Structure 1
């Protein structure tokens, strides 16, 4: 799927705020992803699954003696003309919609 930068977020598609990208997410072919942070110049890693309607991110929280897997589910849509990926989180959140542009 390639590299994507977050460009807009909001409570609805009619009320999106422009944001400056702080990094990018790169979806790799082996169902893993990596997030790159422009300030720290570091990567974080996780896994993802993709089906007809849902994109699920899995990331890992390190505790003193265990690793917890956390999953975030999003409904997704692609717009090939504008090269955008729109995610709608499947949970209560401050922002429900996130629009990424192909890097």
Structure 2
């Protein structure tokens, strides 16, 4: 009896460790959908890094890039501070909730 109980518990434990079917389906779809990355030799990657390090950008260009990035982030922050739903949709949702809750 104890062996049967132990076997059942071990089986249930192993089943609990397996990912659900819908997660496996998403993983398989994402893998089959994309192209495999190209594997490059390490020396080529190191040489490419040295080439970009030797081309310095000016402080003015760095400042312009930084200012542009700051302005973009501020613009995005302003857009995110607005309401998520408009007043008409909010009223419809509240009316539906009051109907459901009686």
Q: TM-score over 0.5 for the alignment?
A: no
Q: TM-score, normalised by structure 1?
A: 0.15
Q: TM-score, normalised by structure 2?
A: 0.15
Kindly indicate which of the two structures has a greater share of residues assigned to helix.
2
Kindly indicate which of the two structures has a greater share of residues assigned to strand.
1
Higher relative contact order (CA 8 A, sep 6+): 1
